[in-house]
Amino acid sequence: MNNNKFDLFEQKMRSENIPEVAIQVFGYYYTQLLDGNTGFIRTADIEPVVSPPKADDLPERLQAIGRDALSKTVTIKLNGGLGTSMGLDSAKSLLPVKEGLAFLDIIAQQSLGNNSHLLLMNSFSTRDDSLALLKQKYPKLLERNLDVDFLQHKVPKVNKDNFLPATWAKKPELEWCPPGHGNIYPALVTSNMLDQLLEFGFKYAFIANADNLGAVVDETILGYFSESDIPFLMEVTRRTEMDRKGGFPVHHKNGQLVLWETAQCHPDEIDEYQDIERFPHSSTNNIWVNLEKLKVEMERKNNNLQLTMIRNEKTVDPQDSSSPKIYQLETAMGAAISFFTGAKIIEVSRRRFSPVKSTNELLAVRSDAYILTPDFRVILNPKRELPPPIVFLDSKYYKMYYDLDARFPSEIPSLINCEKLELEGDVVFGENVKITGNVKIINTTKEQIRIENMTLENEERRV
């Protein structure tokens, strides 16, 4: 690539021993940035996906086919996130989420329970802590012949003002960022993991976020995937108010299926993006990939699928809003749906989608609105007769996990019959609190208030 600015990025990446493939892929997206590519997808160019097939309607006979395919299926969990938006500085998957168990505890138990091979895509920031937990508590997972993890790449942040490599002397590690979970494809190649999986006889991969504890291998879906010889299958579910920021597939006017992420929405069209009536499905980021076909496609495209770029604008220090503005050049794993001939979508129930992206979801999942099943899935409580509870917490007081813990010191209120809970101001919850229907609590004072020993039902309480 003949570009003096990119030379600086290339030098920086080589100094960190970043693989050649990763350097070239980053160069591809950096060129797009210089060419003025925003990554925006405009509403005039797309149509919603209306009626995808439903997993619940698949014939029972597919379960046996999927069971036969289990030995050829690997579960890959995306475990590169630090959860900095919730105040964490270590792997997000180590945060206690249900019954005292962390995400990674539950994932490990799932793998031991179905005897599947677990593979983590770690980042440089999460690898040591995550492997230490597995070694200490689940050594059997490390006794298998195939490695239990591989590393995603890291790439330089780009200074917004001059498109040069961002610098931050206070904390130089913040000059780097992960390139999004779309990086899984080149990372599988540079780690040699894709070849290893194929050599060990794996043909299918089920890939999901570590923070979605409803995502486990489903034998019926696997049977559908394998029997139909689908190269790429994306699970979607019905959107709720809590999913307004999540990505979802749409039909592009060129005939392709395209994944539309929040960062790819033009600011003028955010209302259209968040219209859950027009765009009724959300991507769960549960993806099924035929590894043999992925290998062919990677070789055909020189290990760069050329996924749609996401230009993510942030500050170099995410905890310091006054630090220089930068771009993170990212891609989404689900964007590969555009590049596999015969790729499909399937609608699944919320049983397979319990993501925790903020303390809003963390509070809901910790409550009795969700249960931990004997096979270690976190799902909506079967006794609940409502959709997932909607929780909006005042970010001034509840944004960080330690602030959440401090305001729910003894127990989480019962949310099994809660439709929506909104908290504004500083409110602490004691024991024996039940939230029913739609409840909003507003503390307008400068003093902390305490709620305990009461049932709140369809009311707004203002102090």
Q: Which two tokens stand for residue 299?
A: 């070789």
* Same domain assignment for residues 301 and 399: no
Report how many domains make up the chain: 2
The helix or strand, by DSSP H or E, that contains position 390, with its residue range, turns out to be: strand 390-393
Residue 330 CA to residue 340 CA, distance in Å, equals 20
Other C-beta atoms closer than 10 Å to the C-beta of 140 total 10
pLDDT of residue 115: 78
- What is the per-residue pLDDT for 3? 67
Domain at 377, CATH number: 2.160.10.10
Same domain, 207 and 61: yes
Same domain, 285 and 330: yes
* pLDDT recorded at residue 90: 84
Range(s) of the domain holding residue 42? 4-352
DSSP E strands in 61-133: the ranges are 73-79, 96-98, 101-102, 117-122
Confidence of residue 84 (pLDDT cuts 50, 70, 90): confident
Q: How confident is the model at residue 2 (pLDDT cuts 50, 70, 90)?
A: very low
Domain boundary among 325, 352, 379: 352
Mean pLDDT value across the chain = 93
**Same domain membership, residue 155 and residue 123:** yes
169 pLDDT more than 50: yes
Cα separation values, 95 from 36, 38, 319, 454, Å? 39, 34, 19, 29
Q: Which of 352, 378, 402 is the last residue of a domain?
A: 352
CB atoms within 10 A of CB 99: 11
- Check whether residue 348 and residue 363 sit in a common domain: no
CATH number at residue 334: 3.90.550.10
79's CB contacts (< 8 A; 6+ apart) are 91, 93, 104, 120, 121, 122, 123, 126, 130, 149, 210
Mark whether 308 and 414 lie in a shared domain: no
Q: What is the Cα–Cα distance from 456 to 354, expressed in whole angstroms?
A: 25
Domain boundary among 306, 327, 352: 352
Residues with Cβ < 8 Å from 158, sequence gap 6 or more?
30, 33, 164, 165, 166, 326, 327, 328, 329
pTM score, whole prediction:
0.92
Report how far residue 131's alpha carbon sits from residue 82's, in angstroms, rounded to the nearest whole number: 15
- Residues 338, 363 share a domain: no
135 lies in the same domain as 231: yes
Reported as a single tens digit per residue, the pLDDT across 221-248 is: 999 999 999 999 999 999 887 777 788 9
Angstrom distance (rounded) from CA 342 to CA 232: 8
Q: pLDDT for 387-431, tens place per residue?
A: 889 999 999 999 999 999 999 999 999 999 999 999 999 999 999
Say whether both 229 and 363 belong to one domain.
no
For the chain, the helix, strand and coil percentages under 3-state DSSP, each to the nearest 5: 35, 30, 40
Model pLDDT, residue 170: 93
Is the CB of residue 123 less than 8 Å from the CB of residue 80?
yes
pLDDT at 60: 97
Residue 350 pLDDT class (50, 70, 90 cuts) = confident
Residues 314 and 417 in one domain: no
Kindly state whether residues 184 and 300 are assigned to the same domain.
yes
Q: Assess whether 113 and 213 both reside in one domain.
A: yes
